[in-house]
């Protein structure tokens, strides 16, 4: 027996720079004494390095109209996200020159077209100890590649503007050129899954492959609801945490409403 469901995820592709050590998270990684000092500072005073989330600014664009031609009045959901992080965006760390740390622009396709699968194997059909077969199929849709290509080129332009503004930033992990071949090679080498896995129990009509209805009830199973990112009909354009919280709150409302309809709640509650 085999049972197949689909799922989606975001994927980041970084381009990385050398920046002054004072502006990089690696200054703490490289200096254990500084890390201890900053940890004590955080616990005692609530200030310092550990108060930062490292990535504090996120920008969204339409790749067909990147700045300076960006259409800020458009109601279309952006397909590209860029954010700066004060660290290497990849797992491959070159050696830092003296006084230098790392910073990266992370490029993400906000609305990926690539679809992965989660398959229940024959052995797992009757044994929950057998893991399912998960194939995320990252970057399997050709449309996603063009968004990354445009995003990488624009992110490098951002780096050049930073240098023009006087900030000492130096490219260290970027494509060899802006040809499609070199851009694609960079994507293949440095792409990272964001672990925003969603949609494996989609809210859709049952005849369209849905698992839950609009009140989060699992089709065919009485009394069971699902309230997490797996019920998304499709990928959301940013991080899914806030949407998951909203789904949990709505699920609680649905349960309370059901109790009221059955007379399990007094009228004043």
Q: In what order do the strands lie in the sheet with 3-7?
A: 3-7, 116-120, 133-135
Whether residue 186 lies in the annotated active site: no
In 3D, which of 75, 105, 74 has the Cα closest to residue 88?
105
Cα angle 138, 143, 145 (rounded to 5 degrees) comes to: 60
Evaluate the CA torsion angle 182, 106, 152, 174 in order and state its sign: negative
Q: Can you say whether residue 189 is alpha, beta or left, with left for phi > 0 and alpha for psi between -120 and 50 degrees?
A: alpha
CA distance 10 to 116: 11
Catalytic residue among 26, 186, 196, 268: 196
What residues act catalytically?
A: 196
């Amino acid at each position: 027996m085999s049972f197949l469901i689909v799922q989606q995820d975001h994927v980041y592709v970084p381009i990385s720079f050398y920046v002054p050590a004072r502006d990089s998270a690696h200054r703490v990684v490289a200096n254990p004494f500084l890390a201890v000092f900053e940890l004590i500072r955080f616990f005692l005073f609530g200030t310092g390095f550990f108060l930062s989330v490292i990535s504090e600014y996120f920008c969204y664009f339409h790749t067909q109209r990147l700045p300076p031609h960006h259409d800020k009045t458009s109601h279309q959901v952006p397909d590209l996200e860029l954010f700066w992080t004060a660290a290497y965006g990849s797992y491959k760390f070159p050696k830092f020159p003296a006084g230098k740390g790392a910073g990266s622009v992370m490029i993400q396709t906000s609305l990926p077209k690539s679809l992965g699968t989660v398959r229940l194997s024959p052995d797992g059909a009757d044994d929950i100890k057998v893991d399912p077969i998960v194939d995320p199929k990252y970057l399997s849709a050709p449309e996603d590649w063009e968004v990354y290509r445009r995003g990488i080129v624009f992110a490098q332009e951002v780096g050049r503007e930073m240098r023009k503004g006087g900030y000492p930033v130096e490219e260290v992990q970027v494509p060899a050129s802006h040809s499609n071949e070199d851009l694609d090679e960079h994507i293949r080498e440095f792409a990272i899954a964001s672990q925003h896995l969603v949609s494996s129990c989609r809210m859709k009509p049952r005849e369209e492959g849905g698992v839950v209805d609009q009140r989060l009830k699992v089709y065919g199973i009485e009394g069971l609801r699902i309230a997490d990112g797996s019920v998304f009909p499709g990928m959301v354009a940013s991080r899914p945490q806030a949407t998951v919280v909203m789904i949990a709150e709505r699920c609680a409302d649905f349960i309370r409403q059901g109790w009221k309809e059955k007379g399990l709640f007094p009228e004043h509650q």
